[in-house]
Structure 1
Amino acid sequence: MTIGLEIFIEGERIAPDRVAGWEQRSAAKALRRLGAPSDSQDLERLRQQLLERKHALGHGGIRTRLRRELALSDMVARLVAWMSRGHRVYSVIEIVSPVGTAEAFANWFEEVARLNREDVMIAALPEHYLIATDTAGRQEVIETNGGAPMAARFFVDYDDLSSLKSEADPDYPVQVAGVARAPNGAAIGGVRHQFRNEGTGFHAKLTVEFPSLIMPSVVTGHRWHLACEFSNWIRAAIAELHPE
């Protein structure tokens, strides 16, 4: 099924080919970071090469290959969070799907995470290097945040809303939200993704919280990150929940 998603960044409707172009550039960067550069410009081929490379490295290989920049980005993230004194800035986009429901998508997303379906979780974005949920329900993530120069490692706990600063919007009754913490447990941000039914489909308002003193380019770049990953996740969910 081909789904005509509407994607909005700062109120501007973004053409799908712009998101695809961003994903293509992100894929080329991710392959270089993983030591497997490609000459291909075809997005589907790049996606396949990335999945193959990530699977070949495995979790241990990815952590080892990225260990130096992860150590540095962790130090920077904790410092920026400490200097920000709990203040946050938000990276927000909206996506409208003409098919599906808010409840069904949120349930699908939570189940995919719980089952560690990496075929879906890491395939949604080139610079998703590792997304794995442990037995306690925490989600370990290694990814590049938007316009950040380095990959980062952090943990998201969807049962913990304690340090989130964004407010739940009553017009969006369904949400997937949680605190993001550094490996040492320090709160460094979080997510509040909210959904509502709209017409024959649903409307998603997707929010990532960053420490207020983070580089502005990370915040603006992360809007494209959200547009890419959630448009791919929504398409994957619709394909599984509404096969035709």
Structure 2
Amino acid sequence: MPDTQAPPPVTVTLKAGPTGPGSIDDFELFYARRALDRFRTLLGRQGLLDLLATDIEEGNAFLRESARTSEGVFKSGTTVLATKGLTSGAFLAWMDEAFAGDESALLAAHPEHYAMGTDSIGARVVENIGPHVCSFYMGGWGTDALSWAADVDELLPESEFPRKMSSNLFLADGTVVGRALIQFGDTPDGFTANLTVYFPVTCPDEVLDHHLRHYAVEFRNWIVAAAAAHT
């Protein structure tokens, strides 16, 4: 019988050369971020939006159709992050400042952030939802949970997670295509973040799972940026 066992994976280990710390993966991430920042800067906000116009149209059509076929029913997933060395209050204060006008800090948190800011409709976000580039708005965002969030299963005790923020996610034509509920609770050495997203129930599961990964990347990087600003 022929041997059908797959060969072992090829591995490459850095033995010598660079004087600074880090792995090859760390080096690649640094250069990828630097290249991305260069293209964002050269294109500018409107240049990026113009470049992605067709992708956004297709992505929003996907969300609109998902909302139509789901008839107001959503499914959810939650990413949980544990932070040490920073309080939730310090982090949220930094976030408030960033959302008030520091778009570059918001965009830097994820490679698939393309625009974040406020226009005539409200707080606009252009980013990937799964494989789709979408442009949507966050509405009703605030410290008081919206009516839909008052009795959801994901709502955590006020005593442990006193800082709560919720929002509908909607397209420019008003179609609600998702929801977000984020909750923060301090711990003896930092805080815990529970980050819940809701998508129309007919969305593929991989769209939901990818957004849970998206949450992990963007909030980790925002927390690290807040900590750097806090010191």
Segment drifting more, 73-82 vs 156-165:
156-165
- Partner residue of 1:169? 156
Identity percentage of aligned residues: 29
AA aligned to 2:59 is S
AA aligned to 2:155 is A
State TM-score, norm by structure 1. Answer: 0.76
- Partner residue of 1:64? 50
Runs of 4+ with deviation above 6 angstroms = none
- Partner residue of 2:188? 199
Q: How many aligned positions are there?
A: 201
Contact 2:76 2:208 in 1 (8 A): yes
Superposed, 1:30-109 pairs within 5 Å as 42-109=28-95
Contact 1:162 1:179 in 2 (8 A): no
Q: Does the residue aligned with 1:124 lie in a helix, a strand or coil?
A: coil
Q: Does the residue aligned with 2:199 lie in a helix, a strand or coil?
A: strand
The answer to whether the aligner puts 1:178 opposite 2:162 as a matched pair is: no
Q: Alignment RMSD, CA only?
A: 2.3
How far apart, CA to CA, are the structure 2 residues paired with 1:238 and 1:114?
A: 18
Contact 2:48 2:114 in 1 (8 A): yes
The answer to whether the aligner puts 1:140 opposite 2:127 as a matched pair is: no
- Partner residue of 1:12? none
Q: Does the residue aligned with 1:89 lie in a helix, a strand or coil?
A: strand
Gaps of 5+ in 1: 1-23, 25-39
AA aligned to 1:219 is L
Q: Does the residue aligned with 1:86 lie in a helix, a strand or coil?
A: coil
The answer to whether the aligner puts 1:120 opposite 2:105 as a matched pair is: yes
How far apart, CA to CA, are the structure 2 residues paired with 1:223 and 1:210?
A: 11
Q: How many angstroms does 1:83 deviate by?
A: 1.3
Segment drifting more, 73-82 vs 230-239:
73-82
Contact 2:135 2:171 in 1 (8 A): yes
Q: How many angstroms does 1:135 deviate by?
A: 6.8
Segment drifting more, 40-49 vs 67-76:
40-49
Contact 1:106 1:176 in 2 (8 A): no
- Partner residue of 1:153? 135
Segment drifting more, 100-109 vs 154-163:
154-163
Q: How many angstroms does 1:162 deviate by?
A: 5.1
Contact 2:49 2:114 in 1 (8 A): no
Q: Rg bigger for which structure?
A: 2
Contact 1:114 1:133 in 2 (8 A): no
How far apart, CA to CA, are the structure 2 residues paired with 1:163 and 1:175?
A: 13
